[in-house]
Amino acid sequence: MPSIYDTDEKRWQAVQARESAADGSFLYGVVTTGIYCHPSCPSRAALKRNTRFYANRSAAIADGMRPCRRCRSDEPPLLERQRQLVEKACVLISDSEEAVKVDALAMQLGVSRFHLQKLFRQFLQIGPKQYIKSVRAQRAAHILGGDGEVLDGIYEAGYHSSAAYYADGAQRLGMPARVYKRQGEGMHIRYAFATTRFGKIVVAATRIGVCSILFGESQTQLVEDLTARFCKASLVRDRETLQQLVEQVVAGIEDPSLAARLPLDIQGTAFQEKVWSALRDIAPGDTATYAEVAASIGKPEAARAVASACAANPVAVIVPCHRVLGAGSKLAGYRWGVDRKRRLLAHEETH
């Protein structure tokens, strides 16, 4: 996608306005100081004739510029650093097996409670406390979808009593615990189709995020696969509502660096979710073996179980099970075909 800052005049206007939206699109340097900055840098404005523009840090450094200490131009833009902090907070919340306290979370991240609340509302439109409750409710949904007792699932999810669950979790989940025990009857899932360079896909989503991305040879096959996975949910084809999300999914497949920004609502066993999370830590262009993934989650003996978790992955490409190889880096089986796996890896090596 071409940048809107495609001329020096537009870049200069962005620098004068200190547009944070321009951060990441380019950098500018001041020849009289030898310093390069992000467009939003609050430092004193330079004269236009003393300003140069650079596509990236390497270009600025090659021109003899050094980073600005004020806007930390040798690091990602402020907005990106803030987004990364919120993402880290979300991971800590999701990975914690105990109830998370906002004060303790802020301390762990090295920020104040007020600053953490501000960032959560900026990026997620809810506060950290509300997010913690949402994660706990989703955890209850997953546990209650298994074979355990309803009350056991409520306690395991972190609720101190069934009353606490029904006051909070059931309201957030949109259905009572015993409905989840019936394999999610009443769930409302929208889906839409798209075509990518790797084939046809169906994108399915709840109100929380993407719950499934599947490859298939035809729309008929895709619907059959989706129905098999969500056999007791209400499935509605709705391209209009999902238009933007589908475009984001296709963009994430085309440019793997965008995949991490997609909202997901995927549920599996505790082990599967741990594996899927580890898969998202494998950078585009890199690969890992099943044994290496098993070791990364502290289960070095569980390489076969990791392979099974990869096979059960409900979200193709975005949760990149295609980046996992067999022993000796062998191009092992892939749910959607080894040839597709090979093409995905080749594409990511060049992007």
Q: Is 321 a catalytic residue?
A: yes
User: What tokens does 34 get?
Assistant: 């030898």
Tokens 């706990």 belong to which residue? 136
Q: How far apart are CA 115 and CA 224, in angstroms?
A: 47
Cα dihedral 92→97→102→104 (10° resolution): -80
Catalytic residue among 41, 211, 310, 321: 321
Please, is 97 exposed, middle or buried when counting C-beta atoms within 10 Å of its C-beta (0-12, 13-18, 19+)? exposed
Beta bridge partners of 204: 191, 212
Q: How far apart are CA 171 and CA 5, in angstroms?
A: 45
Catalytic residue among 37, 68, 71, 310: 37
Can you list the alpha helix ranges (DSSP code H) found in 111-238? 113-124, 128-144, 150-156, 162-164, 170-173, 177-181, 219-229
Contact by Cβ (8 Å): 345, 278: no
Exposure b/e, 177-194, CB count within 10 A at least 16 = b: bebbbeebeebebbbbbb
Q: How far apart are CA 11 and CA 188, in angstroms?
A: 45
* Positions marked catalytic: 37, 321
